[in-house]
Amino acid sequence: MSYRIEHDSMGEIKVPAYSYWGAQTQRSSENFPQNVERMPIQIIRALAVVKKASALANFKAGRLDEKRKDLIVTVCDEILEGKLDAHFPLVVWQTGSGTQTNMNVNEVIANRGNELAGEKLLHPNDHVNMSQSSNDTFPAAIHISAVLEVRNHLLPALDEGIKCMDSLIAENQNVIKTGRTHLMDAVPITFAQEISAWREMLSLDSENISRASESLYRLALGGTAVGTGLNAPKGFAEEAAKEIAELTGQPFITSPNKFHALTSQAPIAYVHGAVKALASDLMKIANDIRFLASGPRCGLGEISIPENEPGSSIMPGKVNPTQCEALTMAAVQVMGNDTAIGFAASQGNFQLNVFMPVIAYNFLQSVHLISETFSFFTKKCLAGIRPNTQKMSDNLSRSLMLVTALNPHIGYDNAAKIAKYAHENNTTLKEAGIALGLLSGEDYDRFIVPSRMV
């Protein structure tokens, strides 16, 4: 491999000749393990948005000339188009402020810009990082990437699931089955009503995540090193936030308190808490579905789900609820990520939180993971759910809890006697009621009508 010599405030260092990164990126790649998690590309692209917006704001403030501004904007667009992904090699496990990734982006923009210009016009610190600090660009990038992932991927995936459930509800209005509480037989319910609970979970989770993510519209950019805005011109924070809003189509604004914005990661922890609540609901939905589909002969067997692939390397013909399993594993990962984010967010010491890369990594993993797994779950499992109406009817007819409808007519204690007699003697409720002399067969048929119990 051929090398070139780059230098920074610490001196000279060899850098691969093919790379657009510079000295500080190279030092980071040599000082931290590289066979671990890479910095999420969403953070890189969010930083490109920050750099582009900052160049435009600095140009309007008269601090950056038009030629340099245009070069920065051009390279940022290349980053946003994914053309330079190979030049961002750094890992999550680096400095807690994300300084080296910020400099990685600065160096790539400067070196690529100089290549386009055919001369050395851009300096990574003096021009690309003008009016900025890693301490305000990285938290801004976290907010930008988080909002875009939530708005562009997670919420649409939930909407897709909600629409699928709306169809299932419409199809199953008249399918009556036994309800279950405490994992035990309960009074009747329609299958549509059961699905409606799942649908409401998704709807409320979507609303909560959307509302919570509004707290991320406030950006730290403009606070520079400690929140005072040192070296940033007057009005830079407001103008840069305005440019970011235009570039992303999201209503970003500058944080009214940059001291808070640099040191507190509570807003991202708050939003992830809403994502964790979604994960809890997805765990419940997936578990309900796989239990209802259990069998096909020795389980509940009340629904069928798509048979997507063989389920066993030894048992021929076995098919498993793999989409449910994938979704529940994703939910577990999100719950673990929430613990990491919460702990990391508590570590805002003095004027800066230095756990930002791990917060960014875990948040973006959670949102991407849930978006993708739930989208596949909707297409490959949810949309293919079909009720086994015969099994539902059989289970319902055997349910002892139908006796609940007798309470107003013969009283709770007498109804309990019928249920216990039927269970102990393996008879129907009707037979038990007649045997105990508590009601006639005609009364039973008049009182016990499952369709009137839902």
Task: Give me the active site residues, please.
Answer: 182, 312
Q: Name, in order, each residue with C-beta under 8 angstroms of 262's C-beta and a sequence gap of 6 or more.
A: 135, 136, 139, 220, 223, 226, 227, 351, 352, 353
| Residue 301, phi-psi category: left (phi > 0), alpha (psi -120 to 50), beta (remainder) | left
Neighbouring-strand partners of residue 254: 219
Q: Read off the tokens for 386.
A: 């079909």
Query: CA-to-CA distance for 404 and 330, rounded, in angstroms?
Result: 39
* Three-state secondary-structure class, residue 88: coil
356-380 and 266-292 are packed helices; what angle lies between their axes, rounded to 10 degrees?
Answer: 30
| Residue 201, phi-psi category: left (phi > 0), alpha (psi -120 to 50), beta (remainder) | alpha
Q: Is beta strand 11-16 parallel, antiparallel or unpaired with respect to 3-8?
A: antiparallel
Q: Read off the tokens for 151.
A: 């708005």
Query: CA-to-CA distance for 265 and 345, rounded, in angstroms?
Result: 5
In this structure, the number of other CB atoms found within 10 A of the CB of residue 26 comes to: 21
